[in-house]
Amino acid sequence: MAMNYLEKLENVTVLGAAGKMGRGILLLTAMEMLRQKLKPENHKRQFVLYAMDVDNSALDELMGYVRNEALKYGEKNIVTLRKHYQHRSDLIDNEEIIREYVRNLTELIRPGTRIEPAFDSRIIFEALSERPDLKVDLMLTINRNSRLRPWFFSNTSSIPIVWLDEQAGLEGRIMGLHFYNPPPTQKLVEVIKTESTNPGLSYFVAEFVKNTGKVSVPSYDVAGFIGNGYFMREILYAESLVNDLQKSFSFSEAVYIVNKVSRDFLLRPMGIFQLVDYVGIDGVQFIMSVMNSYITGENIHSAFIDKMMVLGSHGGQKPDGSPRNGFFSYEKGKITGVFDTGKQRYISVDEIAPAGDEYIGSLPVSWKPWKELVRHPHKGSLLGVYFDELKEKTSPGAVMAKDYLQKYREIGTGLVKNKVAFRFDDVNAVVMHGFQHVYGPVNPYI
């Protein structure tokens, strides 16, 4: 099986390689290729990685990104690189070894805007935008023109894999391999296969995930899978809270309140609407529309999100990873204002915070910030003390947090009940590794 893994890895294409997800997948693949190439027994193997995208300038930026990341990796992992290059007597000091690593890594990559090189690849990583027609069109083109019967791994976060398989005529040669942003640093990969998936793909994925240091979590092939199955439903719940609060507060004040409670009281790195901004309001709208078209008996649609889109607040990230304005305006990554749909402008946080904070009330005395908790060796006991204290508080913020936690559990258990996730542990793993939460929805603290 190891030989088959290497044969498949020798010629790979990444579609959408210059995008924020594609470039991370490309970097991970290039690093794994080079790791294999540097083994003495593999020196004669030729590894080629095609980076496909529509814009040459974006591909130029991609190569700059790869060089920078390779340099940073080399500087942090010089001991490992010295072992890889121990057969090279011409490489003496650390700088020479790092420079050679960067050169070797970039030499593997062949950027281009034409699809034809992909016809020679045995593995296709698809990291295109969430447009079902575009994904199917390119997969279909490659499949029809390749004699190699390539394997396809789609980074889709919402589209059922069986649908892509049927539409592109891949006959089971496709799996979902949903990385989280950014792929090089995020540990989680959701793995989705169908009843017709070729078993060989599962073996390749298991090896690739292990070698790239990721944590894989299996999901049923249900639109949205575990991650967005959870995230979209939480957004809808948060929207309902904002609607209720608007009986007493303005839209911007209500958004501020819900976001702060979901961040601070629930011990998260971001509040729910800040996270929506980070992902992109337009992306959330599209994912909901895809899920809604496949999932029956439930309306996964947000008038709230639609309104923000109409008013031109789309969120998302700039090329450097900093947030674009969405529900909030930002300066150097810090929230400075909250969008008001009535006035159609951002209201300063300084103007909103006094009334919002007075309504929310104080945090439990045992509260600790997310950064302190996330890797704390005694996290479990600290959470137990915190939530015991939260249960006794009756302020509006505490009550909202407790209701939110109940909904959090309901969504998590529902994913298992409705056969989206296999186990409660899988739901918790996705939320904790993918969303960086300190605890999962199914927990002993509620």
Query: What single string gives the DSSP state of each residue in 238-295?
Result: HHHHHHHHTTTS-HHHHHHHHHHIIIIITT-SS-HHHHHHHH-HHHHHHHHHHHHHH-
Q: Which two tokens stand for residue 331?
A: 């300066």
Residues 170 and 236 in one domain: no
Select from 152, 187, 219 the last residue of a domain.
Answer: 219
235 and 199 in a common domain: no
**Average pLDDT of every residue of the chain:** 95
**pTM higher than the cut 0.85:** yes
pLDDT of 13 above 90: yes
User: Taking 70 as the threshold, does the pLDDT of residue 145 lie above it?
Assistant: yes
Number of domains in the chain: 2
* Residue 57's CATH number: 3.40.50.720
Across the beta sheet with 215-219, the strand order is 109-112, 48-52, 11-15, 123-126, 151-154, 174-179, 188-192, 215-219
Residue 247 and residue 144 share a domain: no
Question: Are residues 243 and 324 located together in one domain of the fold?
Answer: yes
Domain termination site, one of 177, 202, 219: 219
Q: What pLDDT, on the 0 to 100 scale, is given for residue 52?
A: 98
Instruction: Specify if 57 maps to a domain.
Output: yes
Is 105 contained in some domain? yes
Q: Given pLDDT bands bounded at 50, 70 and 90, which one contains residue 323? A: confident
Inside any domain, residue 49: yes
Is a pLDDT exceeding 50 seen at residue 37?
A: yes
| CB-based burial label for 3 (10 Å; 0-12, 13-18, 19+) | exposed
94-134 pLDDT, tens per residue?
A: 999 999 999 999 999 999 999 999 999 999 999 999 889 99
Percent with pLDDT over 70 in the chain: 99
Residues 237 and 208 in one domain: no
User: Residue 367's pLDDT is what?
Assistant: 98
Q: Is residue 306 part of a domain?
A: yes
Whether 160 and 232 map to the same domain: the answer is no
Confidence of residue 2 (pLDDT cuts 50, 70, 90): low
Angstrom CA distances, 5 to 120, 124, 208, 211, stand at 16, 14, 9, 11
87 pLDDT above the threshold of 90: no
- Find how far residue 163's CA is from the centre of its chain: 21
Of residues 317 and 355, the one with the higher pLDDT is 355
CATH code assigned at 275: 1.10.1040.10
Dihedral (Cα; 42, 43, 45, 50), 10-degree rounding: 110
The mean pLDDT value for 300-316 works out to 92
- Do residue 323 and residue 367 come from a single domain? yes
Based on the fold, state whether residues 240 and 184 are members of the same structural domain: no
211 & 243 share domain = no
Average pLDDT (284-303) is 94
Q: Indicate whether 408 belongs to any domain.
A: yes
Other Cβ atoms closer than 10 A to 58: 17
- The answer as to whether 100 is a domain residue is yes
Same domain, 147 and 296: no
Structure-block tokens of residue 33: 């290729």
My answer on whether 67 and 209 are in the same domain is yes
Question: What's the rounded mean pLDDT across residues 202-210?
Answer: 97
The predicted pLDDT at position 1 comes to: 45
> Do 181 and 77 share a domain, yes or no?
yes
Q: Which of 201, 219, 237 is the last residue of a domain?
A: 219
- Measured CA to CA in angstroms, residue 350 lies from 248, 346, 354, 359 at distances of 19, 12, 7, 15
In a domain, 317, yes or no: yes
> Which residues constitute the domain of residue 208?
2-219
pLDDT, tens digit, 9 for 90 and up, residues 381-435: 999 999 999 999 999 999 999 999 999 999 999 999 999 999 999 999 999 999 9
**Main-chain dihedrals φ then ψ at residue 346, nearest 5 degrees:** -85, 135
Band (pLDDT 50/70/90 cuts) for residue 321 is confident
* Residue 440 belongs to some domain of the structure: no
**Predicted confidence (pLDDT) per residue in 334-374, tens digit:** 999 999 998 999 999 999 999 999 999 999 999 999 999 99
